[in-house]
């Protein structure tokens, strides 16, 4: 990539992701650019959700909002986009009203023929790459920029359910009734994920995160059979392409929400540098399971942000002691995305508490 970016001033996130020693835990928050911020809601008053994603100037503007509001407190930015841009690139229509809605979900394996046979990510998702390059410039080296995509199982679930779901009956019926067709579609999505993530690094992303938000819906057995191979394929595929194309081999994070049963498998064979944790596991227990192979990210319950300053402070203190006393790399975050009703000043308090309690001697 010919683009020269301003030098990085804060590399705490990248050092922690590589398992290097850090003076305190780097901190960022999933969905840090979002509806809890009045400045974000203001932009959304006059622009539709996917319009913001597709307009590099707007995506850059909202990506920078939390960085500017919380000066010096956030150690990473994450590009404003959505995991559902991949199903769109594969030819499906997706609306956001206010949650995701697919007017024509996949009903039977024959419907897979309606998807674009080949996906040119530069053509379909070039707007994300442009937003990344523009954001890298505007960040002026303040913090690194994270790129991301949805994991194949989570995208498959949306493409079949047609939106959010309680029991994922339709998507799970597919994997049980049509296991081979399901595996083929999952791998096809994985290949788009690889192209998309490599393109994001080319455009300037400095760390990549794969969100498997609905990993929680599968038994350990089915996680291993249907989602794990695709997560592995993405890590291996991205790394080998980055090496082959002489691009920076950036750290990669896998957040398989609710799949704490498979942390050992992910640490041993997943191929990721960082594993994201939800709040349903103690930090020391997670560290015991993964050994010293990976950095851990997380994991405060996002609803604690409604609990008041004292509750936030004691939770951050406990979390910091748990991660710091069990060794290994740690990136502080919530255990899932921040929700729209949080008072932005309570998030500031969370960030300040992480700075205070995560210091390492």
Residue 66: count of CB within 10 angstroms of its CB: 26
Task: Please indicate whether residue 35 is annotated as part of the active site.
Answer: yes
For residues 235 and 193, give the distance between their C-alpha atoms in angstroms, rounded to a whole number.
Answer: 10
The rounded distance, in Å, linking the Cα atoms of 294 and 287 is: 9
- Chain-centre distance for alpha carbon 184: 24
Residue number, nearest CB to ligand CP3: 213
Residues in CB range of 354: below 8 A, 6 or more apart: 24, 25, 27, 316, 320, 332
Helix and strand numbers, DSSP H then E, in the chain: 16, 9
Instruction: Give the C-alpha distances (Å, rounded to integers) separating 221 from 117, 224, 259, 265, 338.
Output: 30, 5, 11, 12, 30
Catalytic residue among 36, 70, 142, 158: 158
Residues paired with 95 in a beta bridge: 101
Length of the chain: 361
Q: Name which of 81 and 262 has its Cβ closer to ligand CP3.
A: 81
Contact 119, 195 (CB under 8 A): yes
Residues within the interface to ligand CP3 (CB under 6 A): 30-35, 44, 49, 78, 80-84, 96, 98-100, 148, 164, 211, 213, 337
- Joined together, the tokens standing for residue 298 give 């997380």
Give min distance, CB of 359 to ligand CP3, in A: 26
Q: Annotated catalytic residue: which of 18, 35, 69, 241? A: 35
> Toward ligand CP3, which CB reaches closer, 133 or 324?
133
Residue among 80 and 226 whose Cβ is closer to ligand CP3: 80
**Is 212 designated active site?**
no
* Smallest gap from residue 330 Cβ to ligand CP3 (A): 19
Which residue out of 31, 136, 142, 239 is catalytically annotated? 31
Cis? peptide before 131, omega within 30° of 0: no
Q: Minimal distance in Å, beta carbon 185 to ligand CP3?
A: 18
Angle at 127 (CA atoms; ends 249, 107), nearest 5 degrees: 95
Nearer to ligand CP3, 190 or 287 (CB): 190
Which of residues 73 and 96 has its CB atom nearest to ligand CP3 in the complex? Answer: 96
Whether omega before 141 lies within 30 degrees of 0, making that bond cis, reads: no
Spatial strand order of the sheet with 207-212 comes to 77-78, 145-150, 207-212, 252-256, 274-276, 295-300, 330-334
User: Cβ of residue 321: shortest distance to ligand CP3, in angstroms?
Assistant: 27
Smallest distance, Å, CB 2 to ligand CP3?
27
Minimum CB distance to ligand CP3, residue 164 (Å)? 6
Minimum CB separation from ligand CP3 for residue 77, in Å? 9
Residue located via tokens 């650019």: 33
Closer CB to ligand CP3, residue 97 or residue 113? 97
Give catalytic status of residue 111 as yes or no: no
Is residue 36 within 8 A of residue 339, CB to CB? The reply is: yes
- Give 19 or 337: the residue with its C-beta nearer to ligand CP3: 337
Residue positions annotated with a catalytic role: 31, 35, 44, 82, 158
């Amino acid at each position: 990539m010919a683009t020269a970016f301003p030098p990085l001033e804060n590399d705490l996130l990248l050092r922690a992701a590589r398992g290097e020693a850090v003076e305190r835990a780097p901190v960022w928050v999933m969905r840090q650019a979002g509806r809890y911020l009045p400045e974000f809601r203001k932009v959304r008053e006059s622009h539709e959700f996917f319009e913001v994603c597709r307009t590099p100037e707007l995506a850059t503007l909202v990506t920078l909002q939390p960085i500017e509001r919380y000066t010096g407190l956030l150690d990473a930015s994450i590009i404003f986009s959505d995991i559902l841009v991949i199903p769109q690139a594969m030819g499906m229509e997706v609306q956001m009203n206010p949650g995701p809605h697919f007017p024509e979900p996949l009903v039977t394996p024959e419907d897979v023929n309606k998807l674009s046979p080949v996906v040119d990510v530069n053509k379909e998702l070039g707007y994300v790459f442009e937003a990344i390059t523009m954001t890298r410039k505007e960040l002026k080296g303040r913090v690194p920029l994270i790129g991301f995509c949805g994991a194949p199982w989570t995208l498959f679930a949306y493409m079949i359910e047609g939106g959010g779901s309680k029991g994922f009956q339709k998507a799970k019926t597919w994997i049980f009734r049509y296991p081979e067709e399901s595996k083929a579609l999952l791998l096809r999505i994985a290949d788009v994920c690889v192209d998309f993530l490599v393109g994001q690094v080319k455009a300037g992303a400095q760390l990549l995160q794969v969100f498997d938000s609905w990993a929680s819906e599968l038994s350990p057995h089915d996680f291993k059979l249907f989602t794990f191979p695709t997560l592995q394929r993405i890590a291996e595929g991205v790394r080998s392409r980055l090496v082959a194309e002489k691009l920076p081999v950036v750290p990669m994070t896998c957040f398989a929400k609710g799949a704490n049963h498979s942390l050992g498998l992910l640490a041993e064979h997943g191929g990721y540098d960082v594993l994201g944790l939800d709040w349903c596991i103690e930090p020391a227990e997670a560290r015991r399971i993964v050994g010293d192979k990976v950095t851990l990210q997380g994991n405060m319950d996002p609803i604690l942000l409604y609990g008041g300053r004292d509750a936030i402070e004691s939770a951050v203190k406990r979390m910091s002691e748990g991660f710091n006393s069990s060794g290994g790399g740690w990136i502080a975050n919530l255990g899932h995305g921040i929700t729209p009703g949080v008072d932005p000043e309570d998030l500031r308090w969370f960030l300040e508490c992480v700075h205070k309690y995560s210091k390492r001697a």
